[in-house]
Amino acid sequence: MKWLLFILASLGCAGSALSSAVGDTYDQVIAEKGKPTSHIEAGAVQILKYPDATIKLKDNIIVSIRPPEPVSQASSAPPVPRPGPAPVSAMAPLPEPFDPNAKLTWSTDYEGSLDRAKQEHKHVFLFFTGSDWCSWCKKLNREVLTTGEFIQYAQDKLILVELDYPRQTPQSYEVRVQNKMLESRYSITGFPTVVVLDYTGKAVTRMGYKPGGPEPFIDQLKALGD
Protein backbone atom coordinates (compact mmCIF):
# COMPACT_ATOMS: atom_id res chain seq x y z
CA MET A 1 0.00 0.00 0.00
CA LYS A 2 2.82 2.36 0.89
CA TRP A 3 4.50 1.59 -2.46
CA LEU A 4 1.30 2.41 -4.32
CA LEU A 5 0.99 5.78 -2.60
CA PHE A 6 4.62 6.55 -3.39
CA ILE A 7 4.11 5.77 -7.10
CA LEU A 8 0.96 7.97 -7.31
CA ALA A 9 2.75 10.84 -5.56
CA SER A 10 5.66 10.54 -8.00
CA LEU A 11 3.29 10.63 -10.97
CA GLY A 12 1.53 13.72 -9.59
CA CYS A 13 4.88 15.53 -9.23
CA ALA A 14 5.88 14.57 -12.77
CA GLY A 15 2.55 15.84 -14.14
CA SER A 16 3.02 19.24 -12.53
CA ALA A 17 6.51 19.56 -14.07
CA LEU A 18 5.16 19.42 -17.62
CA SER A 19 4.50 23.20 -17.62
CA SER A 20 7.72 25.13 -18.53
CA ALA A 21 8.42 28.52 -16.97
CA VAL A 22 10.78 31.44 -17.49
CA GLY A 23 14.17 30.50 -16.03
CA ASP A 24 14.00 26.85 -16.98
CA THR A 25 16.84 25.45 -19.03
CA TYR A 26 16.83 24.03 -22.54
CA ASP A 27 17.28 20.52 -21.16
CA GLN A 28 14.28 20.98 -18.88
CA VAL A 29 12.12 22.09 -21.79
CA ILE A 30 13.14 19.10 -23.89
CA ALA A 31 12.62 16.74 -20.94
CA GLU A 32 9.18 18.20 -20.21
CA LYS A 33 7.79 18.90 -23.74
CA GLY A 34 9.84 16.75 -26.03
CA LYS A 35 11.16 17.69 -29.45
CA PRO A 36 9.73 20.99 -30.78
CA THR A 37 7.92 21.20 -34.08
CA SER A 38 10.30 23.99 -35.09
CA HIS A 39 13.73 24.94 -33.75
CA ILE A 40 15.32 28.24 -34.82
CA GLU A 41 18.77 29.12 -33.51
CA ALA A 42 20.61 32.43 -33.98
CA GLY A 43 23.73 32.77 -31.90
CA ALA A 44 22.83 32.52 -28.23
CA VAL A 45 19.10 32.81 -28.98
CA GLN A 46 16.85 29.83 -29.69
CA ILE A 47 13.20 29.74 -30.60
CA LEU A 48 11.33 26.53 -29.90
CA LYS A 49 7.85 26.17 -31.30
CA TYR A 50 5.31 23.75 -29.85
CA PRO A 51 1.63 23.38 -30.65
CA ASP A 52 0.74 25.05 -27.34
CA ALA A 53 3.55 27.64 -26.99
CA THR A 54 6.53 29.42 -28.54
CA ILE A 55 9.51 29.46 -26.19
CA LYS A 56 12.44 31.82 -26.51
CA LEU A 57 15.74 30.95 -24.86
CA LYS A 58 18.95 32.89 -24.47
CA ASP A 59 22.10 31.11 -23.39
CA ASN A 60 19.92 27.98 -22.94
CA ILE A 61 17.65 29.76 -20.39
CA ILE A 62 13.95 30.50 -21.10
CA VAL A 63 13.39 34.28 -21.35
CA SER A 64 9.81 34.28 -22.68
CA ILE A 65 6.92 31.95 -23.37
CA ARG A 66 4.17 32.99 -25.75
CA PRO A 67 0.93 31.14 -26.29
CA PRO A 68 0.22 30.12 -29.86
CA GLU A 69 -1.16 32.84 -32.04
CA PRO A 70 -4.78 32.26 -32.95
CA VAL A 71 -5.16 31.04 -36.48
CA SER A 72 -6.89 33.83 -38.32
CA GLN A 73 -9.58 32.65 -40.59
CA ALA A 74 -9.01 33.78 -44.13
CA SER A 75 -11.36 36.59 -44.68
CA SER A 76 -13.59 35.85 -47.56
CA ALA A 77 -12.93 38.15 -50.43
CA PRO A 78 -15.75 40.55 -51.10
CA PRO A 79 -17.91 39.43 -53.97
CA VAL A 80 -16.84 40.81 -57.28
CA PRO A 81 -19.58 43.16 -58.39
CA ARG A 82 -21.26 42.13 -61.56
CA PRO A 83 -20.71 44.64 -64.28
CA GLY A 84 -23.74 46.77 -64.85
CA PRO A 85 -25.05 47.64 -68.25
CA ALA A 86 -22.64 49.68 -70.30
CA PRO A 87 -23.49 53.38 -70.23
CA VAL A 88 -25.34 54.51 -73.27
CA SER A 89 -23.22 57.09 -75.05
CA ALA A 90 -24.97 60.33 -75.64
CA MET A 91 -26.12 60.51 -79.19
CA ALA A 92 -26.61 63.68 -81.13
CA PRO A 93 -30.30 64.42 -81.47
CA LEU A 94 -31.70 63.55 -84.84
CA PRO A 95 -32.76 66.50 -86.92
CA GLU A 96 -36.46 67.12 -86.85
CA PRO A 97 -38.19 66.01 -90.01
CA PHE A 98 -39.03 68.79 -92.38
CA ASP A 99 -42.62 69.94 -92.23
CA PRO A 100 -43.86 70.33 -95.82
CA ASN A 101 -46.49 72.77 -94.56
CA ALA A 102 -43.93 75.02 -92.87
CA LYS A 103 -43.82 78.67 -93.81
CA LEU A 104 -40.95 81.10 -93.60
CA THR A 105 -41.00 84.23 -91.50
CA TRP A 106 -40.17 87.38 -93.41
CA SER A 107 -39.17 90.52 -91.58
CA THR A 108 -39.55 94.11 -92.76
CA ASP A 109 -37.07 95.43 -90.15
CA TYR A 110 -33.71 95.93 -91.85
CA GLU A 111 -31.67 97.10 -88.83
CA GLY A 112 -33.18 94.47 -86.52
CA SER A 113 -32.36 91.75 -89.04
CA LEU A 114 -28.72 92.88 -89.22
CA ASP A 115 -28.44 92.71 -85.43
CA ARG A 116 -29.90 89.22 -85.44
CA ALA A 117 -27.51 88.13 -88.21
CA LYS A 118 -24.52 89.23 -86.13
CA GLN A 119 -25.76 87.19 -83.17
CA GLU A 120 -26.57 84.06 -85.19
CA HIS A 121 -23.83 84.35 -87.85
CA LYS A 122 -26.29 84.00 -90.71
CA HIS A 123 -26.66 85.61 -94.10
CA VAL A 124 -29.29 88.30 -94.61
CA PHE A 125 -31.51 87.75 -97.64
CA LEU A 126 -32.89 91.08 -98.89
CA PHE A 127 -35.76 90.52 -101.31
CA PHE A 128 -36.61 93.68 -103.24
CA THR A 129 -40.03 93.08 -104.78
CA GLY A 130 -43.19 94.69 -106.12
CA SER A 131 -45.58 92.15 -104.62
CA ASP A 132 -48.83 93.36 -106.14
CA TRP A 133 -47.74 94.28 -109.64
CA CYS A 134 -44.37 92.65 -110.62
CA SER A 135 -44.99 89.42 -112.56
CA TRP A 136 -41.36 88.26 -112.33
CA CYS A 137 -41.42 88.84 -108.59
CA LYS A 138 -44.47 86.63 -108.36
CA LYS A 139 -42.76 83.93 -110.45
CA LEU A 140 -39.67 83.98 -108.20
CA ASN A 141 -41.87 83.77 -105.14
CA ARG A 142 -43.97 80.93 -106.55
CA GLU A 143 -41.22 78.87 -108.21
CA VAL A 144 -38.47 79.28 -105.58
CA LEU A 145 -39.20 81.16 -102.38
CA THR A 146 -42.28 79.19 -101.34
CA THR A 147 -40.99 75.74 -102.31
CA GLY A 148 -40.17 73.09 -99.74
CA GLU A 149 -36.53 72.98 -100.87
CA PHE A 150 -35.97 76.68 -100.28
CA ILE A 151 -37.90 76.71 -97.01
CA GLN A 152 -35.85 73.80 -95.67
CA TYR A 153 -32.59 75.53 -96.60
CA ALA A 154 -33.53 79.02 -95.46
CA GLN A 155 -34.84 77.97 -92.05
CA ASP A 156 -31.30 77.35 -90.75
CA LYS A 157 -29.19 79.50 -93.05
CA LEU A 158 -30.91 82.82 -93.80
CA ILE A 159 -32.57 85.77 -92.17
CA LEU A 160 -35.22 86.87 -94.64
CA VAL A 161 -36.15 90.52 -95.18
CA GLU A 162 -38.88 91.55 -97.61
CA LEU A 163 -38.45 95.05 -98.99
CA ASP A 164 -41.69 95.64 -100.86
CA TYR A 165 -42.59 98.47 -103.23
CA PRO A 166 -46.33 97.90 -103.83
CA ARG A 167 -48.63 100.06 -105.84
CA GLN A 168 -51.88 99.22 -104.11
CA THR A 169 -51.03 97.48 -100.82
CA PRO A 170 -50.81 99.99 -97.96
CA GLN A 171 -47.57 100.34 -95.97
CA SER A 172 -46.58 102.28 -92.86
CA TYR A 173 -44.68 105.51 -93.28
CA GLU A 174 -41.61 104.05 -91.52
CA VAL A 175 -41.45 101.06 -93.87
CA ARG A 176 -41.81 103.25 -96.98
CA VAL A 177 -39.00 105.54 -95.83
CA GLN A 178 -36.74 102.58 -94.95
CA ASN A 179 -37.34 100.80 -98.25
CA LYS A 180 -36.72 103.97 -100.28
CA MET A 181 -33.42 104.46 -98.48
CA LEU A 182 -32.35 100.84 -99.10
CA GLU A 183 -33.35 101.04 -102.77
CA SER A 184 -30.86 103.86 -103.12
CA ARG A 185 -28.17 102.28 -100.97
CA TYR A 186 -28.11 99.03 -102.92
CA SER A 187 -28.67 100.66 -106.35
CA ILE A 188 -31.85 98.72 -107.13
CA THR A 189 -32.86 99.35 -110.76
CA GLY A 190 -35.35 96.54 -111.30
CA PHE A 191 -37.48 93.92 -109.61
CA PRO A 192 -37.10 91.29 -108.40
CA THR A 193 -33.62 91.79 -106.98
CA VAL A 194 -32.06 89.77 -104.18
CA VAL A 195 -29.09 91.17 -102.29
CA VAL A 196 -27.38 88.78 -99.85
CA LEU A 197 -25.35 90.21 -96.97
CA ASP A 198 -22.97 88.36 -94.68
CA TYR A 199 -23.46 88.64 -90.92
CA THR A 200 -21.31 91.79 -90.83
CA GLY A 201 -23.68 93.55 -93.23
CA LYS A 202 -21.42 93.35 -96.27
CA ALA A 203 -23.11 92.58 -99.62
CA VAL A 204 -21.69 89.31 -100.97
CA THR A 205 -23.91 88.60 -104.01
CA ARG A 206 -26.86 89.82 -106.09
CA MET A 207 -29.45 87.54 -107.60
CA GLY A 208 -32.62 87.72 -109.64
CA TYR A 209 -35.17 85.44 -111.23
CA LYS A 210 -33.79 82.52 -113.22
CA PRO A 211 -35.71 79.53 -114.57
CA GLY A 212 -35.06 76.04 -113.29
CA GLY A 213 -36.77 76.01 -109.94
CA PRO A 214 -35.18 76.17 -106.50
CA GLU A 215 -32.08 73.97 -107.09
CA PRO A 216 -29.86 76.41 -109.07
CA PHE A 217 -31.01 79.27 -106.85
CA ILE A 218 -30.09 77.37 -103.67
CA ASP A 219 -26.80 76.20 -105.20
CA GLN A 220 -25.79 79.82 -105.69
CA LEU A 221 -26.56 80.53 -102.03
CA LYS A 222 -24.65 77.46 -100.87
CA ALA A 223 -21.59 78.67 -102.77
CA LEU A 224 -21.39 81.58 -100.31
CA GLY A 225 -20.50 79.19 -97.49
CA ASP A 226 -21.51 79.69 -93.88
| CATH (domain of 151) | 3.40.30.10
According to the model, what pLDDT value does residue 70 have? 64
Residue ranges making up the domain that contains 30:
18-66
CA distances from 220 to 25, 106, 174, 194, 195 (A): 111, 20, 32, 12, 12
pTM of the model as a whole: 0.57
Shared domain for 147 and 212, answered yes or no, is: yes
Q: Are strands 123-129 and 193-197 parallel, antiparallel or unpaired?
A: antiparallel
Residue 35 has pLDDT above 60, yes or no: yes
Shared domain for 130 and 192, answered yes or no, is: yes
Count the Cβ atoms, other than its own, within 10 Å of residue 39.
10
Note whether residue 77 is domain-resident.
no
Better-scored residue on pLDDT, 105 or 1: 105
Among 66, 97, 125, give the residue marking a domain's end. Answer: 66
According to the model, what pLDDT value does residue 26 have? 85
According to the model, what pLDDT value does residue 85 have? 62
